[in-house]
Amino acid sequence: MILHIKKNAPLQLLLDFYKAAYFEAEETYVLITSSSVKEIETSHKEYVDYNKTFESDIQLASKDYITKRSIQIGDILIGGQSNNTLMITGPCSVESMEQIETSAQFLIKNNIKILRAGCFKPRTSPYTFQGLGSKGLDMLVEMREKYGLKIITEAKDATHIDEVIEKSDIIQIGAKAMYDHGILKACSKTQKPVLIKRGFGSTLQEFVQSAEFVLSGGNPNVMLCERGIRTFENKTRFTLDLCGVSYLKEYTNLPIILDPSHAMGYRYGVADLARACVAMGIDGLLIESHPNPKVAQSDASQQLDFDQFVALQNSLIPVAEAVGMQMI
């Protein structure tokens, strides 16, 4: 149950009674109990301005609570009534200043506003490139300062989450970190936008509940990113779950970003899939692009080269229009 509590209510008493999470909003405290709580004690009703019950622990993210949330990223607006589909691109990893600056200049030239690149890479083998870490993050910051781009990068575990929150414009919680309470809790205490990638073995219920961890700490700026789930099919890297995206659109209020690059794992399918994603009427796309994919130190097979990216970008404009959206 979500309760909006008057500011002069006995907050701690109510928190203890309902074993509730909470955050402070402008004119109210927002308390969130287990969804199994279905009634308010009579003696508490005087403190409650609003309350609503839910079938499951998808509560703050539920369309029954708020129809559609919007998120402001600098002067960029997504979600809500904006009808914007935001393009985010960049290489899988920051590999060098030269590489990331080439990418940054490519974005500027093509009117893309948000640069993505990984610094803390959650590789599954200890014997491969693990990313440039803080050094890479500083390069991204330099790109922001020099080119006015917004930057998004991933936290892979709680040891560097504070640094990522401080320096990044959007904090990406990677698929492998979707359940990381250390990260989720830290993200709930900032107001910076957070993009949560669905774990490839995670149900939609768990995915949205990860967002609830961030929302219930007081950060309303959460985006959900579908990036493919793991299935028996192994001709492709993962299986992009667009049925799941339909579910998220129908039942949740959070902006939805799609990442067809990781789902597919191969360059050849990225453009078709990206067009399919945009035709779903989503809020944004994450596409991996690289100055020279052949020499990329991670995800070489799925990154687009710049010509391929521009061709894709152009092809998305009419698809977005066909469903009443605009690419930004």
In the window 3-22, what residues touch a copy of itself (CB under 8 A)?
20-21
Residue closer to a copy of itself by CB (options 169, 180) is 180
Structure tokens at 317: 């404009």
**For residues 60 and 104, which CB has a smaller minimum distance to a copy of itself in the complex?**
60
Our CB check for a copy of itself shows the closer of 101 and 305 to be: 305
Residue among 36 and 72 whose Cβ is closer to a copy of itself = 36
Of 76-84, 92-100, 270-278, 287-295, the window that binds a copy of itself (rule: CB under 8 A) is 270-278
Burial code (b: 16+ CB inside 10 Å, e: under 16) for 71-98 equals bebeebbbbbebbbbbbbbbbbbbbeee
Binding to a copy of itself (CB under 8 A) within 107-126 occurs at 120, 122, 124-126
Binding mask 209-238 for a copy of itself (x = CB under 8 A): xx-xx--x-----------xxxxxxxxxxx
Decide: helix, strand or coil at residue 27: coil
**Per-residue interface string for the shown chain with a copy of itself, residues 161-200, x marking contact by CB under 8 A:** ---------------xx-xxxxx---------------xx
Could you say which of 69, 150, 156, 290 contacts a copy of itself (CB under 8 A)? 156
Choose, by CB under 8 A, the member of 104, 149, 204, 254 that binds a copy of itself.
Answer: 204
One character per residue 280-309, x = contact with a copy of itself (rule: CB under 8 A): xx----------------------------
Q: Which of 275, 1, 130 lies closest to 14, judged by CA? A: 1
Cα 136 from Cα 293, distance rounded (Å)? 18
Secondary structure (3-state) at 258: strand
Smallest separation (angstroms) from a copy of itself to the CB of 307: 19
Instruction: Identify any residues that bridge with 152 across adjacent strands, giving them in sequence order.
Output: 116, 170
Question: Could you tell me the two tokens for 268?
Answer: 């050849």
Residue of 15, 97, 141, 158 interacting with a copy of itself (CB under 8 A): 158
Nearer to a copy of itself, 59 or 103 (CB): 59
For the chain, state the CA radius of gyration: 20
Nearer to a copy of itself, 188 or 289 (CB): 188
Contact 174, 157 (CB under 8 A): no
What is the total count of residues that contact a copy of itself (CB under 8 A)? Answer: 81
DSSP state of 199: P
| 96 near a copy of itself, judged by CB under 8 A | no
Beta carbons of 218 and 23 less than 8 angstroms apart: yes
Residue written as token pair 């506003």:
113
* DSSP state string for 85-137: EEEEEE-SB---HHHHHHHHHHHHHTT--EEE-BSS---S-TTS----THHHH
Contact 253, 67 (CB under 8 A): yes
Among residue numbers 20 through 79, which ones bind a copy of itself (CB under 8 A)? 20-21, 32-35, 57, 59
